[in-house]
Amino acid sequence: MSATRAETDFRLRDVALSAYGPTIVSSTGYGAVMPVLALRARDLGADVSTAAAVVAALGVGMLIASLPASALVARVGERRALVGAGLVDAVAMVLGAVAGSVLLLGLAVLVSGMTWTTFLMARQGFMIDVVPFSHRARALSTLGGSHRVGVFVGPLLGAGLIAVAGLGSVFVLAAAASLAAAALAWRMPDLGSERREAQRARGHLGVWRVLAQHRRVLLTLGVVVAVISASRSVRTGLLPLWADHVGISPSTTSLIFALAGAIDILFFYPGGWLMDHRGRTVVAVPVVLTVAVGALLLPLATSAWSVAAVVVLIAVGNGLGSGIVMVLGADAAPVEGRAQFLGGWRLCGDVGLSGGPLVVSALAALAPLAVACVAVGLLGLAGTAWTAYWVGREDQRIRRS
C-alpha cells in the first residue's frame, strides 16, 4: 500500500530542479559548442578532414569512457560523478577556448566526450532512484526532452556570443554551463549511499563480471538500443546529403532541421505518457520505423517541401521516442551492479550512434545515393522487426512482474 501511495502522490515538478536543471544547463553549453567545433579547428589551421576528426573525437571520448565511467559511478555515486564530470568538462572547455593547436583542441574535445557520457549515465541512475516505476517513462522522456531543449537553445546563445566576442567565447559559455550544472548537481540528494556502502562491504562487482551475467539482455535488448541509436544518427548523416544532392541550400537545410528540433521537443512528453500507460513497444517501434520509411521515401523527395515532409515524419518518431533508450535500460538494469550494467547499455548505444554514419558512408561510396537510401530503409525495416519482437517481450515481462 505504501508503494502505491508513493506512486500516487509523486509529482515530477517536486524533483524538477534537481532532476532536469543540470541537464538543461549542461546541454545548453553542449549545444552551443557542437556547431562550431569544426570552425574552431579550421581557425587553428586544420584541413577539412582533420576538422572532421576533431568533431569525431567527441564520439570517441563517449565510446571509450562508457565502461570506465560506469565503474566510477558505482564507486562514488551519481551525485559525485555529476559534480566531477561538470568540473572536468569546464576545464576541457576552457582548454578548447585557449588552445593554440589542433592537437590540444582535439584532446579537449575527447575529454569532453568522456565527461558527457559520465554525466548522462549518472543522470539516468539518479532518475531510477528518485522516480517510482509508474512515472519512470515520463520522467526519463522529460530528461531526454530537457537535453533537446538545451541543444536547441545553445546554438542561439552561441550565435549571439560569436557576433559580440568571437568564436572562443562559445567555449567559455560551455565552461560556465558545466560549472553551473556541477553546482546544481551538488545540491542533489545522494540517494544511493547506503547501497554503495553495502556493496563496498561485500566487494565491488567488476564491470566485465556484471556484463557477463547479463549478456543475454545485452545481446537482445542491447542490440535494440544499437538499432535505435543508429536510426537516430541516420537522420543527421543521410538527410543533409540528400538535401545537398537535390540542390537545397545549406540555409534552407538548417531551417528544416530547426523544424525537426521543435517537433522533437513537442512530442517528448506524449511519448513518455504512452510508455507509462501503453508499454514501451508503442514508442520504440516508431523511432526505427519512421527512419526506415523516411529513407525509402527520400528518392521521391526532390524539393524542399518534400524533404521537409520526410524530416517531419522522422522527427515525430524521434520525438515520441525521447528517453526510450534510458527507459529500456532502467527496466532491464539489475539492483546489484546497476551502474556497471548501464555502462554496457551506454556502450551499445554509442556503438549504434557511431556505426550508423559509417553504414551510410559505406553505402554511399558503393552505390548512388538513391540506392543507398533504399538500402538504409530496408535495413531499418529489419531493425524495426527486431525492435518490435524484443521490446514486446520486455513489455510482457513487465506486465507479469
CATH assignment at residue 56: 1.20.1250.20
Quick one: pLDDT at residue 363?
83
Domain that holds residue 36: 16-203
Phi, psi of 366 (to 5 degrees): -95, -20
Q: Do 231 and 247 sit in the same domain of this protein?
A: yes
Report how far Cα 336 is from the mean position of its chain's Cα atoms: 24
Which of 146, 175, 203 finishes a domain?
203
Report CA torsion sign: 319, 322, 324, 327.
negative
Number of domains into which the chain is organized: 2
Quick one: pLDDT at residue 2?
43
Q: Do 43 and 88 sit in the same domain of this protein?
A: yes
- Asked if the structure places residue 126 within a domain, the reply is yes
Rounded Cα distance, 223 and 217, in Å: 9
By C-alpha distance, which of 271, 333, 319 is closest to 126?
333
Q: Do 71 and 99 sit in the same domain of this protein?
A: yes
- Asked if the structure places residue 10 within a domain, the reply is no
- Asked if the structure places residue 9 within a domain, the reply is no
- Asked if the structure places residue 388 within a domain, the reply is yes
Quick one: pLDDT at residue 1?
36
By C-alpha distance, which of 124, 56, 183 is closest to 333?
124
Q: Do 222 and 140 sit in the same domain of this protein?
A: no
- Half-sphere exposure at residue 379, Cβ-oriented, CA atoms within 13 angstroms: 17
Quick one: pLDDT at residue 197?
67
Quick one: pLDDT at residue 387?
96
- Asked if the structure places residue 44 within a domain, the reply is yes
Q: Do 185 and 312 sit in the same domain of this protein?
A: no
Rounded Cα distance, 125 and 78, in Å: 7
Q: Do 73 and 163 sit in the same domain of this protein?
A: yes
* pLDDT per 10-residue tile (average), the chain, 401 residues: 53 77 91 84 83 83 90 88 95 94 94 93 87 89 87 84 85 95 88 66 77 93 93 80 83 80 88 93 95 94 92 92 92 88 90 80 82 92 96 91 75
Which of 154, 188, 203 finishes a domain?
203
Quick one: pLDDT at residue 32?
87
Q: Do 365 and 334 sit in the same domain of this protein?
A: yes
By C-alpha distance, which of 223, 196, 185, 227 is closest to 80?
185
CA angle at residue 189 from 148 to 75, to 5 degrees? 90
Q: Do 282 and 359 sit in the same domain of this protein?
A: yes
Quick one: pLDDT at residue 9?
67
Q: Do 255 and 179 sit in the same domain of this protein?
A: no
- Asked if the structure places residue 261 within a domain, the reply is yes
Which of 170, 203, 236 finishes a domain?
203
Q: Do 175 and 286 sit in the same domain of this protein?
A: no
